[in-house]
């Protein structure tokens, strides 16, 4: 027996309101994560190390890392949706470029939580050090910081520059380019701090910062250094995601979706 609904159910989403909610929610979460990290890791209200690590922004596989990873992966999903909406009206190569952009951010989100770039960078460094050295390999092995900056970071840099080149005109026309600049800028500064952390003389940097800020505990400055890096990454991800959400809101303007309900026999 057919059940015909009297009319289709049309749902419209106020994208600008949704984007504001997402932006403010992400900022609130970042602030709360900073507070929880300070309470659990600096004030040491719990002696159990496992509990402290749950909120430790400076460590991988924690709640802050999970949030950072999910945020970037949702950005990738947003870009996939943009590619799907644009596909009928743009060339195949542009659709492919949008899909590759989504895959880039999806991979970064997965990589951030699983520490793939650190592990792969270390493995590649050991492989390069154990083999015959040509001029390029010898130059790469002179990197004074973490190995992933030598073997993995260049691919991320090239990917980011390609995305900037691909989206620059479109985002500029919609006055969204500041999201890309600020977002990638936060990421670049964060990676610069990560590079400093891997230097052999980083203790001198910590000593100078500790004296400058008047922090008594050495852990306070080393932990603060890492917290600033991770917070910049999260802030950069938030800005980039908001930029892509605004672009999706523009290209999907007027788009509707219909919910069709069926009974247990599969009839509408």
Amino acid 77: pLDDT: 96
Tokens 């999907």, residue? 252
Amino acid 15: pLDDT: 83
Query: Quick check: helix, strand or coil at residue 89?
Result: coil
Amino acid 257: pLDDT: 53
Rounded to a whole number of angstroms, the distance between the first and last alpha carbons of the chain is: 9
Domain coordinates of the chain in residue numbers? Answer: 13-252
Contacts of 216 (CB under 8 A, 6+ apart): none
Q: How many CB atoms lie within 10 A of CB 4?
A: 7
CA distance 49 to 59: 12
Q: What one-character-per-residue DSSP string does 219-258 give?
A: HHHHHHHHHHHHHHHHHHHHHHHHHHHHHHHHHTTT--EE
Provide the whole-model pTM: 0.83
Confirm if 224 and 212 have CB atoms less than 8 A apart: no
CA distance 224 to 231: 10
Amino acid 3: pLDDT: 46
Query: Quick check: helix, strand or coil at residue 62?
Result: coil
Amino acid 130: pLDDT: 64
CA distance 204 to 211: 11
pLDDT in tens, the chain (268 residues): 444 444 455 556 778 889 999 999 999 999 999 999 988 888 877 777 788 888 889 887 789 999 999 999 999 999 999 999 999 999 999 999 999 999 999 999 888 877 776 666 666 666 666 665 555 566 556 667 777 677 778 888 999 999 999 999 999 999 999 999 999 999 999 999 888 887 778 888 888 888 887 877 777 788 888 899 999 999 999 999 999 999 999 998 756 555 455 555 555 5
Amino acid 152: pLDDT: 75
Quick one: which H or E segment has residue 64? helix 63-86
Amino acid 19: pLDDT: 93
């Amino acid at each position: 027996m057919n059940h015909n609904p009297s009319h289709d159910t049309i749902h419209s989403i106020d994208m600008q309101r949704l984007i504001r909610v997402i932006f403010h929610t992400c900022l609130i979460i970042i602030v709360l994560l900073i507070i929880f990290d300070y309470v659990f890791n600096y004030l040491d209200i719990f002696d159990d190390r496992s509990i402290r690590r749950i909120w430790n922004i400076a460590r991988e596989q924690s709640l802050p890392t999970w949030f950072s990873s999910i945020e970037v992966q949702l950005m990738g999903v947003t870009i996939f949706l943009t590619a799907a909406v644009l596909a009928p009206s743009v060339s195949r190569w542009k659709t492919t470029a949008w899909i590759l952009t989504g895959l880039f951010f999806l991979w970064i989100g997965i990589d951030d939580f699983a520490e793939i770039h650190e592990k792969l960078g270390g493995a590649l460094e050991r492989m390069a050090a154990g083999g015959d050295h040509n001029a390029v390999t010898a130059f790469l092995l002179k990197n004074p910081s973490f190995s992933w900056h030598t073997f993995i970071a260049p691919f991320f840099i090239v990917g980011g520059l390609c995305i900037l080149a691909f989206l620059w005109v479109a985002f500029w026309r919609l006055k969204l380019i500041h999201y890309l600049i600020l977002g990638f800028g936060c990421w670049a500064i964060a990676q610069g701090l990560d590079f400093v952390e891997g230097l052999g003389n980083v203790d001198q940097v910590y000593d100078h910062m500790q004296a400058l800020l008047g922090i008594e505990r050495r852990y306070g400055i080393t932990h603060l250094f890492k917290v600033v890096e991770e917070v910049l990454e999260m802030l950069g991800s938030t800005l980039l995601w908001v930029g892509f959400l605004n672009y999706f809101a523009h290209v999907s303007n007027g788009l509707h979706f219909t919910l069709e309900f069926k009974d247990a026999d599969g009839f509408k």
